[in-house]
Amino acid sequence: MISVKLLKLLTSIGLAISTVGFAHAGESIKVGISSGPSKQVLEVAKKLAKEKYDLDIKVITFDNYFLPNEALNSGEIDANIFQTRSFLKKYVSNTKYKIVEVGQTFIYPMGIYSRNIKKLSEIGKDSKIIIPSDPSNQGRALILLKNAGLIKLKEGVGETPTPKDITENHKKIIIQTVDAAQVARSVEDVTAVVLNNDFVLNAKFKPSDALFRENPESAETYVNIIVVKESEKGKRVFKELREVMNSDAVLKETEKLFPGAVKAWK
């Protein structure tokens, strides 16, 4: 026969377990991403998070590269997955926002694309190339143009050179900057554009169409990351978010949508 003390103890344990379970059940987070095919990847992560952790992920899309960090800082969303480590570093330096990296996802090589030429060597005198205007992606694009042999940059300019850092442009290429989301819309009217992977498919290119691409193995600073408020970085839900973003299911979907993407986690 169970004693009264033992019965009370078992009841207390049961209540504690059920309370812990109830506290975790039905948790939800809002995750911001840039608009485009990335949403299909997040839908896979969303399904897995619900199945594995009973975590509801609400995906919020943004049309430019500045709004997701503004929304995170203001508390409109709980996390974002759209930016590179280099972009975050520059953004935090400028805004002093207390937002931090809590996980890595993929490296998406940037490339030079064109509707009007077939080979890099066809970029001639007075050609026009459109690149993103935000400091991180602008710098990345200029480094890409340098590595393609189209321009030279000052020594020691780091990760975020600007057009003022160009020291040689023997073909007199006209380099114009526009918002990253607008670059693809210019492709019919210029010699070439420099595109992030998010916009390659929107522009109806395949990554293999690039005239020149980054080597992802040497682009660690451009790894895409999961970002949250510094004060919330220890929350279990963000560990779970990282786990689903680093899952085989998400890897498979990403490789299908973005051929050439490289997983950044070990």
Q: Which two tokens stand for residue 30?
A: 């809002």
Model confidence over 88-122: pLDDT tens digits? 999 999 999 999 999 999 999 999 999 999 999 99
Torsion of CA 115, 120, 126, 130, to 10 degrees: 60
pLDDT band of 40, cuts 50, 70, 90 = very high
The answer to whether residue 251 sits within a structural domain is yes
pLDDT band with cut points at 50, 70 and 90 for residue 9: very low
Do 155 and 116 share a domain, yes or no?
yes
Closest among 153, 265, 196, 173 to 37, alpha carbons compared: 196
* 99 vs 230: CA distance, rounded Å: 5
The CATH number of whichever domain residue 140 belongs to comes to 3.40.190.10
C-alpha span between 136 and 133 (Å, rounded): 8
One domain for residues 119 and 104: no
- Closest residue by Cα to residue 137 from 198, 209, 215: 198
Q: Are residues 208 and 119 in the same domain?
A: yes
> Using 50, 70 and 90 to split pLDDT, how confident is the model at 205?
very high
Total domains in the chain come to: 2
Average pLDDT over residues 53-65: 96
**Domain that residue 153 falls in:** 111-214
pLDDT band at 147 (very low <50, low <70, confident <90, very high): very high
Rounded distance between C-alpha atoms, residue 248 and residue 266, angstroms: 12
**Can you tell me the mean pLDDT for 145-173?**
96
Extended beta strands in 26-149, E state: 28-34, 56-62, 79-84, 99-107, 111-113, 128-132
State the CB neighbour count (10 A cutoff) for residue 9: 12
The C-alpha atoms of residue 132 and residue 176 are separated, in whole angstroms, by 8
The answer to whether residues 76 and 99 belong to one domain is: yes
Q: Does 139 lie in the same domain as 105?
A: no
> Does 150 share its domain with 61?
no
HSE-up of residue 257 (Cα within 13 Å, Cβ side) = 22
| pLDDT at residue 219, as a whole number | 73
Domain assignment of residue 15, yes or no: no
Mean pLDDT of the chain: 90
60 and 190, same domain (yes or no): no
Query: What are the angstrom distances between the C-alpha of 232 and each of 13, 84, 88, 211?
Result: 29, 20, 17, 42
Compute the average pLDDT of residues 153-177: 96
pLDDT over 80 (residue 19): no
Q: Which pLDDT value is given to residue 21?
A: 42
- The Cα–Cα gap between 119 and 51 comes to 47
Q: What percent of the chain has pLDDT over 90?
A: 76
Q: How far apart are CA 25 and CA 45, in angstroms?
A: 18
Residues 101 and 118 in one domain: no
Statement to judge: residues 99 and 134 lie in one domain = no
Please tell me whether the overall predicted TM-score, pTM, comes out greater than 0.85 for this model. no
**Residues in CB range of 113: below 8 A, 6 or more apart:** 187, 192, 193, 194, 195, 200, 203, 205, 209, 210, 211
